[in-house]
Structure 1
Amino acid sequence: MPHPPHQSLQAAAVQSLQARPAAVPKPRVPAREEDGPWHAEAVCRRDEAGLFFAPSKEPTAARLAREEAAKRVCARCPVMVACREHALLQPEPYGVWGGLTAAERRVVLGRRRRRAAELLPGAGTPPIAAAG
């Protein structure tokens, strides 16, 4: 059935699903495993994606303002920690994830690497000279 040109694609899809006979089950969209269950609860799914990722050649002042606005969204998100860990484990090279910019995530990853190196047995202690 043709839809008026002003009708959104989403509204057309909803009408199409509603027009199906009741005996036909609605198709299930499988969850992507890499997203994990936290992804569905992310507050940013309801916000403008442009807030979290920089446009090309963005002026510094605009970038800083946009990143702060994105961090405010992250601050009220119930899955912020899971999102941050996802971004650190991937690692995600761009955008604001879990309240951290790409540069802030690089700092966290550097600290984690240094801490892990310090915890290794024998790390940071000079080798013992052989008696001879």
Structure 2
Amino acid sequence: MTDLIGDQTDITAAGDDELTSIFGLPDEESWQERALCSQTDPEAFFPEKGGSTREAKRICTGCEVRTECLEYALLNDERFGIWGGLSERERRRMKRMAI
């Protein structure tokens, strides 16, 4: 059975820092879990066309993970909703200006 899981000494010989960089800290929360929007009504972040984005953007202003959220939206080409305090149109404009 050791053939299937490999040599266990490889795992135990690895330093704690190496394992942490691979798997993260056991109790580490993801940025999504720390986001203020995870504690509020998601409808504010996905308004109907023409609906107000003011409340969502206000919440984003005080959020500690705003940068991570915006990076995620830009990297994953999120087309709907408020991410990192910006609407889809604002994110599109930001991408165009970066090119």
The TM-score with structure 1 as length reference comes to: 0.51
Q: Percent identity?
A: 35
Q: CA deviation at 1:40?
A: 1.1
Runs of 4+ off more than 4 Å: none
- Counterpart in the other structure of 1:76: 62
Measured on the aligned residues, the alpha-carbon RMSD in Å equals 1.4
Query: Greater helix share, 1 or 2?
Result: 2
Q: CA deviation at 1:107?
A: 0.3
- Supply the distance in 2 between the matched residues of 1:68 and 1:54 (Cα, whole angstroms): 10
Partner AA of 2:75 in structure 1: L
Number of residue pairs matched? 71
- Supply the distance in 1 between the matched residues of 2:96 and 2:32 (Cα, whole angstroms): 25
Runs of 5+ unmatched residues, structure 1:
1-35, 114-132
By relative contact order (CA 8 Å, sep 6+), the higher-ranking structure is: 2
Q: Give 1 or 2 for the bigger CA radius of gyration.
A: 1
Runs of 5+ unmatched residues, structure 2:
1-28
- Counterpart in the other structure of 1:42: 35
Residues 1-132 of structure 1: pairs in structure 2 closer than 5 A: 37-55=30-48, 58=49, 60=50, 63=51, 66-113=52-99
